[in-house]
Structure 1
Amino acid sequence: MPRCRFAAAAVAAISTALPAVAQDNTIRVLAPTWVGFAPALVAQDLGCYEAEGVTLDFRFEDDRANVMAAMERGDIDADMRTVGEHQGRPRVPETPGTIIGTIDISVGGDGVLVDGSIASVADLKGKIIAIEPNIPARLLLQMELSKVGLSINDVELREIATADTIAVFSDRSIAAVGTYEPFLSQAVQIVTDRNPRVLVSSREEPDIIVDIITARDEALAENPGKFESLLRCVYRAVDYQRANPDEFAEMAAPYFGLTAADVTEIVNTSLAYTTYEEAVSFLGTDKLATVFDEVMVLNIDFGAADTKLNAEEEIDPSLLEGLFDGHTR
């Protein structure tokens, strides 16, 4: 049983003995600069949060350590990242955060960019690879290295901020950069003198990189309603994208400093947003738990995580059950 359910029971018991207090209906979210999270922002332009009686405070933060610290302090209510990043060190079972939904699947949006002189992954042995800790590209890199009998210890890692991909890849001492869209495509288009190519991307491993919505346990126990509102708005925006892709791209573009054409290209080639029904399928069956367990093994084996986490304790499908009952879809 997820930790937040225990917390909810405790709060319910306490609340009967205390005077009622006004609920906090602001949803504070941190997420990386990734177009996969655009539905949460476009929902704001569609007036969804206002109609739900909640307020969205959404900010970009690419540094995972900063996000986890904010979650620990209670500065945020939710974050959006991949399953693999959710598991990464220093997370342990007691670390705040319960998975309550999915938002997209990467199908090409994460990858490892290499210099044209790198003919195969084996050529990376002893080379400098720049990559931000715990991002999906690192997992892809580790999986690719293992195919030729190499490990992450056979390369020289240099930590970077993913937003610096172009500047970093311009340095000829760097053989490869692990990154994600839009920085992946931008580097290919701009740093042409290095004859760049994508060595491996999530297109080859489409079921491994799933972006999830994680709620802070205490906030979820205190006010599950605002998280239900968040989920409804995300899935309404996904419906809107399916029906009106051009208008969706126009709305999403300014949040990421991109053009509508850029957003359309990324959505069409790099990711797939999950609908409400798909999210229910992921969390309501063993589908997400299976992905979670598979990625957990990889993260432990590759040293990206220290502690094996239990999928049942990290995933709570209860908010998705009947999410739109009594609400307009």
Structure 2
Amino acid sequence: MMRLVGSFATLVIVGLLAVFGWQSYQQYRQPVALKFVVTSWTTAQLVSAVASRNFFAGRGLNVKIINVGEDYEAALRAVQTGEADGGVFPLSAPIKLTLSGFPMRVVAGVDYSSGADGIVAASGIISVADLKGKRVAYEAGSYDELLLREVLQENNLSIADVISVPTMAEAVPQAFLKGEVDAVVSFQPFLDQALRRPESTVLFSSASLPGFIPDVIAFREDAIENNRSAVQTFLGAWFDGIAELKKDSHSRREMLAVIAVVGGTTITDVERSLTSIKLYNFNDNAIAFTYTDDLLSLYRSSQEFIDFRAGYLTKPIGQVVRDIIDPSFIRSGLRQ
């Protein structure tokens, strides 16, 4: 047992040195090419694991990783202020930023939710129909609201049939635990936090809607225009890391250890998070950047969210989708 503990401790130390020490060292050797913001979400933290395996450095790219933890609004502010060039976001984030006049470009799909999002309800609520007249907390204007609307519609209800309690994402679990609401719509790790309420249950899981809620890599439009080659190199290193993570190998476990250390969690929790999503490799991206009516297409899934935000549009939906989804990097990879 002590040997196992010692091995894990070694992985942790290696991960810390690789992520933090290597970044500091690299900044002395060469200027930062890209600044990338990440949140506490597992696949966002994967960027640190990719860096720890020297996939960026091996391609001559110095990436500064900015970790904002669970402060999702800080991640958005980072790209708006120029502190970051890009990051891993729900697809809704670059769409909302672009619609508000701050152009972003989606250059790769990261994952889609397959249980990482859902609806948690209090005891006595055993079906979606039971939500009628109940207090439901969710972040307004987000995928949480869109998911709620979709689920209600599938059960012959509308948003008007529930008592909406607009709440910031990170505050949703506490509202539920305090008994201020009867149900919540959220995502991990907040779903697990909400489930600490005694006798609460998962009323609906995003596993039933594959492709409905994707996470993506997105960059500021000006970052792409000014440093296109760095973005292409970043994506090449990213997909090298994804290929490594999908192997059943020692290096995979080291990458999971780095994600756990940087995210302040455990390898077991990281593994569990990865089971609640479908992680995109390069081939999956080739499909995601194809025009189809399937939600696995980023064109279709972005149109779903843009339809939801139709009141904010100043140009046709099709044009907005084409402005946001940038397939050129994936197509360039296909030609190599």
**In which range does the TM-score fall when normalised by the shorter chain?**
0.7 to 0.9
| Alignment deviations for residues 39-85 of structure 1 (CA, whole Å, 9 cap, x no partner) | 21211111222233312223236566554444333232113222234
Out of 281, 294, 311, the position equivalent to 2:287 is 281
Percent identity between the two aligned chains: 23
Partner in structure 2 of residue 154 of structure 1: 161
TM-score, L = length of structure 1: 0.79
| One-letter amino acid of the counterpart of residue 286, structure 1 | Y
Structural mapping, 1:65-76, within 5 Å: 66-76=74-84
From the superposition, tell whether residues 94 and 170 of structure 1 become closer, same or farther in structure 2 (CA, over 3 Å): closer
- 2:291–2:299 contact (8 Å) kept in structure 1: no
TM-aligned CA deviation for residue 30 of structure 1: 2.9
| 1: CA distance, partners of 2:84 / 2:105 | 13
- 2:90–2:216 contact (8 Å) kept in structure 1: yes
Partner in structure 1 of residue 13 of structure 2: none
Aligned residues: 298
Partner in structure 1 of residue 236 of structure 2: 232
| One-letter amino acid of the counterpart of residue 199, structure 1 | L
Structure having the larger proportion of residues in helix: 2
Partner in structure 1 of residue 17 of structure 2: none
Partner in structure 2 of residue 272 of structure 1: 278
Out of 109, 112, 115, the position equivalent to 2:122 is 115
TM-aligned CA deviation for residue 205 of structure 1: 0.2
1:57 aligns with 2:65: yes
Greater Cα offset, 312-321 or 156-165: 156-165
TM-aligned CA deviation for residue 93 of structure 1: 8.0
TM-aligned CA deviation for residue 312 of structure 1: 1.9
Partner in structure 1 of residue 181 of structure 2: 174
TM-aligned CA deviation for residue 139 of structure 1: 1.9
| 1: CA distance, partners of 2:180 / 2:246 | 43
Greater Cα offset, 60-69 or 240-249: 60-69
Higher relative CO (Cα under 8 Å, sequence separation at least 6) belongs to 1
| Alignment deviations for residues 5-26 of structure 1 (CA, whole Å, 9 cap, x no partner) | xxxxxxxxxxxxxxxxxx9634
TM-aligned CA deviation for residue 134 of structure 1: 3.9
Computed over aligned residues only, the root mean square deviation of the Cα atoms, in angstroms, reads: 2.9
Unaligned 5+ runs, structure 2: 1-29
Partner in structure 1 of residue 326 of structure 2: 316
Out of 260, 264, 270, the position equivalent to 1:257 is 264
| 2: CA distance, partners of 1:68 / 1:252 | 21
Unaligned 5+ runs, structure 1: 1-22
| 2: CA distance, partners of 1:156 / 1:303 | 21
1:215 aligns with 2:219: yes
| 2: CA distance, partners of 1:306 / 1:187 | 32
From the superposition, tell whether residues 288 and 318 of structure 1 become closer, same or farther in structure 2 (CA, over 3 Å): farther
From the superposition, tell whether residues 134 and 256 of structure 1 become closer, same or farther in structure 2 (CA, over 3 Å): farther
| 1: CA distance, partners of 2:109 / 2:141 | 19
From the superposition, tell whether residues 204 and 61 of structure 1 become closer, same or farther in structure 2 (CA, over 3 Å): same
